[in-house]
Amino acid sequence: MITKEVYVEIQLLKKHGLSLRQIAKEVGCAVNTVRQHLVLGSAPKYERKVMRETKLAAHVGYLCERQASAKPLWIPATVLYREIVGLGYDGGMSQLRAYLRTLKPAQSAEPVVRFETEMGEQMQVDWVEFRKGAEPLHAFCATLGYSRASYVEFVSDMKVDTLIGCHQRAFEAFGGVTRRALYDNMKTVVLERDLYGEGQHRYHAGFLDYAKHSGFIIKLCRPYRAQTKGKVERFNGYLRRSFYVPLSSRLGQAGLKLDVVTANREVKRWLNEVANERLHGTTQVKPSERLKEEVQHLQPVPVPWRANIAAARVQGIAPAEPAPKRPAVVIAHIEQETPAQHPLAVYEQLLDRIVQGAAI
């Protein structure tokens, strides 16, 4: 159907004596289209098409409710797809994405220049802050530069001892240590940049000792350029959208707040079943598959830092070099010894109840 402006132009050209073929050439449409609209005698009117019933129609209310529970954040299509499949949806992902676009217009992303690293070369590390106040919730995130395999651990503080413990468990999960680790300006890593000259920084003494003990070099990204560690930055966004927002909003619907223990239990499963098993958008390979290659290029996992210090003090000598340790390639989270605010069974029962209620 042509626009009102084109219709008026057709009428004027006809009054000027042009043939149907000449008019069609002038306005850029078929001769039959010109003939049809000259016969109409009035400007075209647009009518909204009635949407036909789709496989997604039965789940529209659920999708709206889930997105409303997450506001002002957003639950991605991949997460909602897994949820409604469990409720009986047998349609495709494209249909779901098309509907979600009507709820939130797509935003154009700025182009990002990507830098690839060799196997075993770099691990990017960052803190993600989810909640402040009396019950803080943070996540330690580490992503290997080559494989994109990631490790996540939820904690209630970001102290240096916590940071070191998270590193140790990340190395154990990955199966080894990279030659370098990249950070921003976190105070538990660097106290003052360029203190001794350009590129010569004053590091936190305790963390620097741990880095030497583990065998990795500390590297800092450029100031105000978080893209320098873009691999972990992008994973942080993925963690927030695909894990934290869906889980916290679901618990919120039951009047509960996500705590450290529950978050760690759930993120372990999410890493093993979703994050490290997805086809990565850049590499188009599962991170778990590329990790099988990268683990052969990692340095041995260090012995636990505190145990190492205690042994050195008792014996009065430097500790022996730890034997190479290459555990099976499984991305798993080592749970923290932090008392749960709510028994896990309570969460599981409520989550099941919410899902069953949505199915009804």
- In 3D space, the residue among 253, 252, 248, 275 whose CA is nearest the CA of residue 263 turns out to be 248
Check whether residue 284 and residue 241 sit in a common domain: yes
Tokens of 319: 């500790």
Residue 324 located in a structural domain: no
Q: Which of 39-48, 92-101, 251-260, 351-360 has the highest mean pLDDT?
A: 251-260
246, 266 contact by CB (below 8 A):
no
Higher-pLDDT residue of 300, 49: 300
**Same structural domain, 80 and 211:** no
Residue 280 domain-assigned (yes or no) = yes
Do 162 and 63 share a structural domain? no
Q: Is residue 311 part of a domain?
A: no
307 in any annotated domain: no
SS (H, E, C) the chain: CCCHHHHHHHHHHHHCCCCHHHHHHHHCCCHHHHHHHHHHCCCCCCCCCCCCCCCCHHHHHHHHHHHHHHCCCCCCHHHHHHHHHCCCCCCCHHHHHHHHHHHCCCCCCCCCCCCCCCCCCEEEEEEEEEECCCCCEEEEEEEECCCCCEEEEEECCCCHHHHHHHHHHHHHHHCCECCEEEECCCCCCEEECCCCCCCCCEECHHHHHHHHHHCCEEEECCCCCHHHHHHHHHHHHHHHHHHHHHHHHHHHHCCCCCCHHHHHHHHHHHHHHCHHHCCCCCCCCCHHHHHHHHHHHCECCCCCHHHHHHHHHHHCCCCCCCCCCCCCCCCCCCCCCCCCCCCHHHHHHHHHHHHHHHHC
One domain, residues 247 and 152? yes
Query: Within a domain: residue 171?
Result: yes
If one compares 243 and 27, the residue with the highest pLDDT of the two is 243
Q: For the segment 222-258, what is each residue's pLDDT rounded down to a tens digit?
A: 765 555 567 888 899 999 999 999 999 989 888 999 9
Q: Are residues 90 and 143 in the same domain?
A: no
* Residue the block writes with tokens 């993120």: 267
Burial of 230 (0-12, 13-18, 19+ CB in 10 A): middle
- Same domain, residue pair 145 and 256: yes
Inside any domain, residue 49: no
Burial status of residue 157 (CB atoms within 10 A of its CB: 0-12, 13-18, 19 or more): exposed
Q: Read off the CATH number of the domain in which 347 is found.
A: 3.30.420.10
Phi, psi of 326 (to 5 degrees): -125, 85
Higher pLDDT among residues 65 and 40, named by residue: 65
Q: Which two tokens stand for residue 189?
A: 């890593």
Residues 6+ apart with CB under 8 A from 206: 160, 161, 164
* CA pair distance 155, 10, nearest whole angstrom: 70
Are residues 128 and 250 located together in one domain of the fold? yes
Number of domains in the chain: 3
Please give the single-letter amino acid code of residue 236.
Answer: N
pLDDT digits (tens, 9 = 90+) for 282-309: 888 999 999 999 999 999 999 987 645 4
Both 36 and 64 in one domain: the answer is: no
| Same domain, residue pair 78 and 176 | no
How far is Cα 25 from Cα 253, in angstroms, rounded to an integer?
61
Are 148 and 215 in a shared domain? yes
Asked if residue 16 has pLDDT above 70, the reply is: yes
Residue 350 lies in a domain: yes
Return the percentage of the chain with pLDDT > 90, whole number: 41
Q: What is the pLDDT of residues 59-82, one digit of tens each?
A: 888 988 888 888 878 888 899 999
348 and 209 housed in the same domain = yes
Under a CB-based contact definition with an 8 Å cutoff, are residues 341 and 261 in contact?
yes
Contact 136, 156 (CB under 8 A): yes
Which residue range is the domain that position 185 belongs to? 122-288+330-359
Residues 220, 182: contact at Cβ < 8 Å? yes
136 belongs to a structural domain: yes
Residues 63 and 135 in one domain: no
Quick check: pTM over 0.95?
Answer: no
Confidence of residue 51 (pLDDT cuts 50, 70, 90): very low
